[in-house]
C-alpha cells in the first residue's frame, strides 16, 4: 500500500483518519477501504464536497453503522475520498478539490459523484470504495472505470451517519475490482436474504437504442455470452415504450423535490459557492412544483407496476449501464446527463438492486460493460448471479 495518499489530492481528502484499523481479524482483514466523504466517523467532520459545508459542520459523535460493520471485519480505513458537491452530479469534477482523472483512461472523467472512491479502486490505492448511489453515483463510475459496482435495493442498508442527497432514492453502494469481493462486502453490509437460483434473463431491446451506436455491438456480444448462463431468456414485456422517454424527467423531478426539502433551507441561509452546473441543479430543484411532483409520481407508479409484472425472485434484467464510455474531462455533459438518467432511473424509480459488470471495452480500449438488475430485496441473489457469471469470464465473457 502507498502510505502517502497526500500525493492524490483529487482522490483523497486532507481531513479524516488515515490508515485507521480497529481489528486485524475478520472476513475483510487487511483490505483497504476508501470512504466517500459523506459518511460520519466519530470525532471527524465531512465536507460533502463543499468547503462551505465543511466550515459549518460539527464533528460527528458516532460512526455510520456501514463503516462500523466494515471496520469490525478487519478493513483498513485509508481515507475519505472526494465527492462531487453535495453528491449532486454524475461528472466526477469538483471545482473546490479538483478532478479525479480516470486511472484507466487518461484525460477522461471517472464519473460521479462517488468519484474519489472509484478512482482509488481503479488506481489500486484501495480494495473497496464505499460510496452512495442516488441517481447513478456508483454505477456510472463503475462503468467508466471498469469496476464492479452495486446500487443495492432501496432501504436494505441503514443510512445512519450519512449526509443525504435525496432520501427517497439514496442508497449505500460500493466498488471493487472483482465480483467475489463485491459479494464479500455484501455479506457484511446486507441483511439476511434468501439466495434464489436466478435462471431467467430478461432483455428490454428498446434500452439498447439509448446507447451510442458504436457500443451497441459490444452490448449484443455481452448479451449473447450472458445468455449461456441462464436456462431461459425472454423479452421484457413493455406494452408502451413511450414510458422510457419519461423516466429521466420523472426521476429528475422527484429527486429534485427531495433535495429541495433536504437542502433548500441551508442553501438559502448559507449561500454556498457551487460550480455553475451544480448551482443550476439546486436552483432547478427549488423551483419544482407540487403539480410536477404529482405527475412524476404517476410515471413512477406506472414503472413500478411494469417492473413488478416482469421481475420475480428467479429473473434478472440485462441492461446498459451508461450510454457512452467515459467522457473527456471538461466536456459538456449536460445532454449526456439526461441520457444517463434514463438508464439509471430504471433502478431508482423501482427501488431495485443493480450491479455493473465490466466485461467489455470499446475499440479505443475504454472500459465498458453492462448491468444486471433484480427487484427489491434480492440483492444477495443478484450478487451470487454476478459472481457466477464472473467466475467464467476468463473463458466465456
Q: pLDDT-derived band of residue 1, with 50, 70 and 90 as boundaries?
A: very low
| Average pLDDT, integer, range 139-163 | 98
Whether the pLDDT of residue 132 is over 50: the answer is yes
Q: How large is the average pLDDT for residues 323-352?
A: 96
5-189 is classed in which CATH architecture? Alpha-Beta Complex (3.90)
pLDDT of residue 350: 98
pLDDT of residue 299: 98
CATH annotation of 200-244+290-396: 3.90.1300.10
Task: Provide φ and ψ at 139, rounded to 5°.
Answer: -65, -40
Stretch 369-395: mean pLDDT: 92
pTM of the model: 0.96
pLDDT of residue 3: 56
- Section 154-181 average pLDDT: 98
Radius of gyration of the chain (CA): 19
Which residue has cell 446498459?
320
Is it true that 5-189 and 200-244+290-396 share their CATH fold? Answer: yes
User: Domain limits of the chain?
Assistant: 5-189, 200-244+290-396
Q: What is the pLDDT of residues 74-107, one digit of tens each?
A: 999 999 999 999 999 999 999 999 999 999 999 9
What is the pLDDT at residue 392?
85
* pLDDT score of 5: 81
Q: Computed from CA positions of residues 229, 232, 235, 236, in that sequence, does the dihedral angle turn out positive or negative?
A: negative
pLDDT tier for residue 116 given thresholds of 50, 70 and 90: very high
65 pLDDT band (50/70/90 cuts)?
Answer: very high
pLDDT at residue 7 in the model: 81
Q: Mapping DSSP to helix (H, G, I), strand (E, B) and coil, where does residue 114 land?
A: coil
For CA atoms 328, 8, 114, 194, give the dihedral sign: positive
**Side-chain-side CA neighbours of residue 278 (13 Å):** 25
Q: What is the dihedral of CA 330, 335, 337, 343, to 10 degrees?
A: -140
Does 396 score more than 80 pLDDT? no
> Given this model, what pLDDT does residue 202 score?
98
Amino acid at each position: 500500500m502507498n502510505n502517502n495518499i497526500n500525493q492524490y489530492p483529487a482522490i483523497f481528502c486532507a481531513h479524516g483518519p488515515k490508515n485507521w484499523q480497529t481489528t486485524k481479524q475478520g472476513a475483510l482483514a487487511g483490505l483497504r477501504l476508501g470512504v466517500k466523504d459523506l459518511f460520519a466517523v466519530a470525532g471527524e467532520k465531512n465536507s460533502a464536497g463543499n468547503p462551505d459545508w465543511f466550515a459549518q459542520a460539527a464533528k460527528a459523535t458516532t460512526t455510520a453503522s456501514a463503516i462500523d460493520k466494515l471496520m469490525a471485519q478487519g478493513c483498513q480505513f485509508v481515507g475519505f475520498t472526494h465527492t462531487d458537491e453535495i453528491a449532486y452530479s454524475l461528472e466526477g469534477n469538483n471545482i473546490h478539490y479538483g478532478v479525479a482523472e480516470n486511472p484507466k483512461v487518461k484525460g477522461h472523467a471517472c464519473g460521479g459523484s462517488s468519484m474519489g472512491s472509484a478512482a482509488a479502486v481503479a488506481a489500486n490505492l484501495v480494495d473497496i470504495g464505499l460510496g452512495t448511489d442516488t441517481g447513478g453515483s456508483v454505477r456510472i463510475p463503475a462503468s467508466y472505470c471498469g469496476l464492479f459496482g452495486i446500487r443495492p435495493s432501496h432501504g436494505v442498508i441503514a443510512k445512519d451517519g450519512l449526509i443525504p442527497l435525496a432520501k427517497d432514492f439514496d442508497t449505500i453502494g460500493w466498488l471493487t475490482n472483482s465480483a467475489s469481493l463485491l459479494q464479500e462486502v455484501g455479506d457484511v453490509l446486507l441483511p439476511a436474504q434468501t439466495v434464489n437460483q436466478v435462471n431467467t434473463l430478461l432483455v428490454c431491446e428498446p434500452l439498447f437504442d439509448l446507447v451510442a451506436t458504436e457500443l451497441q455491438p459490444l452490448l449484443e456480444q455481452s448479451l449473447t455470452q450472458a445468455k449461456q448462463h441462464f436456462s431461459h431468456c425472454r423479452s421484457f414485456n413493455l406494452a408502451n415504450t413511450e414510458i422510457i422517454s419519461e423516466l429521466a424527467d420523472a426521476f429528475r423531478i422527484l429527486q429534485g423535490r427531495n433535495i429541495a426539502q433536504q437542502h433548500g433551507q441551508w442553501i438559502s441561509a448559507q449561500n454556498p459557492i457551487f460550480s455553475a452546473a451544480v448551482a443550476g441543479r439546486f436552483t432547478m430543484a427549488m423551483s419544482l412544483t407540487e403539480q410536477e411532483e404529482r405527475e412524476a409520481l404517476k410515471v413512477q407508479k406506472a414503472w413500478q407496476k411494469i417492473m413488478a409484472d416482469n421481475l420475480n425472485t428467479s429473473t434478472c434484467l440485462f441492461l446498459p449501464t451508461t450510454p457512452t464510455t467515459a467522457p473527456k474531462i471538461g466536456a459538456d455533459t449536460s445532454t449526456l446527463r439526461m441520457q444517463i438518467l434514463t438508464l439509471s432511473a430504471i433502478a431508482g424509480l423501482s427501488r431495485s438492486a443493480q450491479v455493473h459488470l465490466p466485461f467489455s471495452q470499446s475499440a479505443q480500449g475504454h472500459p465498458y460493460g453492462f448491468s444486471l438488475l433484480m427487484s427489491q430485496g434480492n440483492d444477495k441473489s443478484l450478487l451470487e448471479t454476478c459472481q457466477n457469471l464472473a467466475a467464467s469470464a476468463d473463458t466465456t465473457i
